[in-house]
Structure 1
Amino acid sequence: MRSKRKKKNNLNKEVIVVVLITITLLVIIGISIKGNINNYIPNTVLDFISPIQRGINKIFTITSENVSGIINYRSNLKKIEELSKENEELKKKIIDIDLKRDELGSLGKLKKSLNYISEDYDKNYVSASVVSKNDGNWYTTFTISAGKKDGVIKDSIVICGEGLVGKVYEVSDNYSKAISLLNNKSAVSFEVLRKGEYTGVISQNISIDSSENFGGYLKGYLFDIKYEVVPGDIIITSGIGIYPKGIPLGEVEKVIEDKNNLLKYIKVKPYVNFKKVDKVLIIRPRIIE
């Protein structure tokens, strides 16, 4: 009997201790929320419960921060998605504007190129895009988006806003293949703008005994070594052969004399950017009688 009573008393004491601790913790939490705990509890008790209070405060702080972080994360994620969508829409608008601007610029240049053709020449022309090119940096051969159905024939002349590009050498129903002035198979008769009697031929097939680098440049020779051509002279098509007279070719960069063979060569910087040719006009070749 005494043993049972003793056990019961011990159990009651444990329950009372647990209840007291619980009440104390609740009081501490309440006081911590309302004000400074130092004003209500003795120092001896504070020394005991301070670590507990700090732990509880830390738990509440971490929990609060995590909940706030989750809420802010979802909110920020939504904002990021909205901004990303707006950014994509703006990109599309910018691309559309740039494409339209480039298209208008190209059309303006093509219209300008019609002025190169004399009034007495048939100006029937076809507008087309370059759809493919040869490997390498320079356009030597390329394909255009116009063919027999559009009125393109073999030897048709290809021009752009800057000047002469080349000529067509093969035609299918919807596409045509062309060579540029940089192609070894291309040859164009030219004259010097300031003095029409200074004439010659532009051809990449010319062999010049010189260490000069002709990458991206045109090579030519003059029919007479006495022609006083100088750097800066503008050369145009002379009207001999399939090309009508007056289409710009480029400017003389350098004059190279071969006194042993009594020849005078020229290095010409072309007006056409043969690294980038997009829009072109195709006109019929000049009729050779």
Structure 2
Amino acid sequence: MRIRATVAAVSGALALSALAVPAAQADGRGDADLNKPSAAERFGVSSAKSAFSTAAAAEELPVVSKVTVNSGKAVVVGTTNAKTFTVSVTASHPAGIADAYVDLWHGTDLTEEGLDGVLFPNEEVATCTASSATTSTCKLTITAYPGLDLYKNALAGTWKVTAGVLAGDGESIYWNDYQATHKVQRYSKLTVNASPEPVRKGKTITVTGKLSRANWETGVYAGYTGQSVKLQFRKKDSSTYTTLKTIKTNSTGNLSTTVTASTDGYFRYYFEGTSTTPAVKAAGDFVDVQ
């Protein structure tokens, strides 16, 4: 069976040093492992009935009813910390379910030229919990390492999900490299500062901030340019923010605008997110209006 080569290859201090090296220093695809297993390799079956076998009747194959990645939430990865998340497959077969497999992959197709990213499960065998004699939910974990698995910023966005299931008869296999899609995103940060404070009523308040996101190639956070961000305000005795205006980040990700002081309250910036970058809200900055 196949196990995640990138995890097995580095450990302890070596793992830390490997993650500290910017991917830009690596050749081509860096140290990313792109060797996706076949159904037979994953389940250790040399001769099996599968979705690709003309000899297998549809009713003999496992039936997948649900595949879940990271509880349905996008996988968001920063610059230094690896992100471990759970994936699961719910499937049924008359002989029960013995094992399952899930990976996430990125690219135009599964050819050597088309495939440019893979996130493999950490375990060789899934943990399967039966809900009946025929149906089980099988869980695995996947760890995404910035600068290693995620070695270039172009990997942010939509990934495809592979799902595989081995029935309890040890022969019947379900395998679909296009089972679903899932978002893998670059972690985002947003700051805000409203000044002066305190300020007299009717005077001008300048609200600055910065929107940045993880750069997997350099290992630092860089400004996210040309993005629409909402300036919001809530009164001191309120729990609800109201949008005052929408402005765009400049060429370095910075934000700056002005408003007129009217009452005590909190200012914040709110970014709604994109396909590659998650939504983020700055913590409210209080201004005392006198």
TM-score, with length taken from structure 1: 0.23
* Higher helix proportion (structure 1 or 2): 1
- Which one has more relative contact order, counting CA pairs under 8 Å at least 6 apart? 2
Q: Give the alignment's TM-score, normalised by structure 2.
A: 0.22
Larger strand percent: 2
